[in-house]
Amino acid sequence: MEQLGATGESREKSSTSREQEQEQAGTPGSSNQAGDSPAVCVHGTEHDPEDEDHPKLSLISWNVDGLDGEEQPERARGLCSYLTSRSPDVVLLQELIQPYTRFMKKRLAERYTFIEGGKEGYFIGMMLKKSRITLLDSETVAYPTSGMMRSLLVAQVLFRGRKFCLMTSHFESCKANAAERMKQLRLVMKRMAKVPDDVTVLFGGDTNLRDAEVAKVGLPGCVCDVWEQLGEPEDCRYTWDTHANTNNDHRYKSRFRFDRLYLGRAGGDAALEPESMALVGLEKLKCGRYTSDHWGIYCTFSAQ
């Protein structure tokens, strides 16, 4: 297999992690509470991954922490294993690096169309299940004032004969960058609100958002937070949880709902209805580390 290795961006990652350690509220010394627990579905039943004609849409959104050079080969295998077992229709990934994408393409390119939001350093990406999703067009939109190479990846697709717009992004990190992060949220919400009436738009990514920041920006009436729509399940609240996730040695433990899904309803029509949500990546790999320092989100939607 290809040897995965950290890039020069790892230094920025380490710096960012230290900033998060210093800035995020929390108490030192908390223990791992749920690190080896399996993912829990909120409600609904999962479809058979082999049934390609079922009406549900499935999605995974995950910051895969490609900049962490520790145990990269096993962590990449773990990621591919999750994607193979869950067989999601759509995969939204953040913090990819080229060795990760090359590794994944060797194993999954027959089943998935890959879209990369960059080529250098770290970047965002999408994977679309070829038997279920038809790619029409895609574009990468740079955030003009980002200091961290952040951008928005947008794809126009067809699913069961209907038009969808898929988006993913990795918003600016660290508490001190709230203003830039809120600018990025405003840009995304503006794009979501402007889609044509016959298009359903779905965004997923590592937003690094705090609830107070979202409240300041506000969501358009046509856009809902999928986690909230499902009744705010506690099991899926914290996607960044250094109490449970021990990949990085954070002195001060913290929990945040950094990774979020937003659904925009086409012309008020519920073409997709959130059905279930679970966190993935909660199991330690044989190397003693988790697939990422974030938990991933696995979500299913009923398609009308």
The residues carrying an active-site annotation are 206
Q: DSSP letter at 294?
A: S
Judge contact between 298 and 59, C-beta under 8 A: yes
Asked if 248 contacts 17 with a C-beta cutoff of 8 angstroms, the reply is yes
Q: Rounded to whole angstroms, how far apart are CA atoms 295 and 297?
A: 7
Tokens at residue 72, please?
A: 């990269």
Q: How many other C-beta atoms can be found within 10 angstroms of the C-beta atom of residue 275?
A: 21
Residue 182: its H or E element? helix 178-193
Helix (H) or strand (E) holding 61: strand 56-63
- Structural contact between residues 155 and 163, judged by C-beta atoms closer than 8 angstroms: no
Determine the Cα–Cα distance for residues 67 and 12; give it in Å rounded to an integer: 9
Element (H, E) at 260: strand 259-264
